[in-house]
Structure 1
Amino acid sequence: MAPKYKLTYFPVKALGEPIRFLLSYGGMEFEDYRFEVERWPELKPKMPFGQTPVLEVDGKMINQSTAISRYLAKQVGLAGSDDWEALQIDAIVDTITDFRLKIGNYHYDDDPASKKKKYEPLVKEIIPYYMPKFEEVVKNNNGYFVNGKLTWADLYFVAVLDYLNAMVGKDLLENCPGLQALKEKVLAIPSIKAWVEKRPQSEF
């Protein structure tokens, strides 16, 4: 009997979307429970470590979006064919996370003066450092992040892209044809395409 999955998250893509992509890729039915931000104080004490997204598997709750994604990737055959390949995938995903956190350090700064100071280093140093490197990795791996084939690193990157773009306020794939082609390949996967067409609309 197939496991029963329930994802609990805010009504956005953001860190929940890699999980949704992987569940959809594997053809696994899941309850996509999206709660309004106003309900978070009520729900937070019920979540492991007070965090979300949370995945329930047959009623057992687990937090940490990257760990959840890695677990699901193993279920659907996208986690690497050996330990070295799995390590390469993990390294890319962790680097994407490093990049996201640097962007988030700017985006979530509530002090207008401090945020303004962070903008120029973000667009003139951080983004120009990371994006060409991601582009180069994909170019050197036949259009994918690892070993010239689809892995969960590819799904993860495309799934969080709208979130990254929204935080920065621009399209990060400008001048990155390899990454743009990767995005198009992932979004053309029939199960991913079907998910994107039916998912609730949100900016990020």
Structure 2
Amino acid sequence: MASKCKLTYFPVKALAEPIRWLLSYLDIEFEDYRFEREQWPSIKPSTPFGKVPVLEVDGKKLHQSVALSRYYGKKAGLAGKDEWEDLMIDIAVDTLNDFRQAIASWFYDPIDDSKLSKYEPLMKETVPYYLNKFEEHIKENGGYLANGKLSWGDIYFVAIIDYLNFMLQLDITEKHQYMTALRDKVVNIPKIKAWIAKRPETDC
């Protein structure tokens, strides 16, 4: 009997999208429950640690988007062939999240003066540094994030590009041909392409 899955998140792609893509890749049916932001105070106490996304599987509530992506990536045969290759994928994904958190520290800063002071170093130093490093890294890995082959890390990376673009208000792949090529490979995987075609339209 197939597991019953319910994914709970805000009405956006962001950190839930890698999970949605991997569930779609695996042909696992799931309820894509998107709540409005004003509902969050009433939903938050029911989550494991006060955060979303939360994936409920047969009544068990699970959280942490990277851990869930890694788990379903393994189920999909998109992990490394050994512990070393798994480590290479984890390093790439953790580095991507370092980048995301650097952007989020600016984007979600509620103090105007602090946010303003973060903007120039973020856009002139942090963003170019990470994007150039990722471009070089993907080139060196045969067009992928790790091990010269498609992994769950690539799906995770491409799935949150819209979120990064939304926060930065630019296309991070625009001037980076290897990132662009990786994005195009992932979004054209048939089951992921089918999900993208039917998902709700959101900015991030």
TM-score (norm 2): 0.98
- Structure 1 residue 23 and structure 2 residue 37: aligned? no
Q: How many Å apart are 1:127 and its aligned residue?
A: 0.7
Q: Kindly report which structure 2 residues correspond to 1:1-204, keeping only aligned pairs within 5 A, or say none.
A: 1-204=1-204
Q: How many Å apart are 1:168 and its aligned residue?
A: 0.8
1:81-120 deviation per Cα after TM superposition (whole angstroms, max 9, x unaligned): 1111111101101000000000001100112221111111
Q: Where does the alignment leave 5 or more consecutive residues of structure 2 unmatched?
A: none
Letter of the 1:151 counterpart:
S
Secondary structure at 2:56 match in 1: strand
Q: Where does the alignment leave 5 or more consecutive residues of structure 1 unmatched?
A: none
Letter of the 1:54 counterpart:
V
Secondary structure at 2:74 match in 1: helix
Question: In structure 2, what is the Cα distance between the partners aligned to 1:151 and 1:35?
Answer: 30
- After superposing on structure 2, the runs of 4+ consecutive aligned residues of structure 1 that deviate more than 3 Å are none
Secondary structure at 1:109 match in 2: coil
Q: How many Å apart are 1:51 and its aligned residue?
A: 1.1
Q: How many Å apart are 1:138 and its aligned residue?
A: 0.8
Question: Percent of pairs identical after alignment?
Answer: 59
Question: In structure 1, what is the Cα distance between the partners aligned to 2:2 and 2:84?
Answer: 30
1:20-78 deviation per Cα after TM superposition (whole angstroms, max 9, x unaligned): 01101111111111111111100110110111100111111111111111111111111
Aligned length: 204
TM-score (norm 1): 0.98
Q: How many Å apart are 1:174 and its aligned residue?
A: 2.4
RMSD: 0.8
Letter of the 1:35 counterpart:
F
Q: How many Å apart are 1:13 and its aligned residue?
A: 0.3
Q: How many Å apart are 1:2 and its aligned residue?
A: 2.0
Q: How many Å apart are 1:146 and its aligned residue?
A: 1.1
Secondary structure at 1:147 match in 2: coil
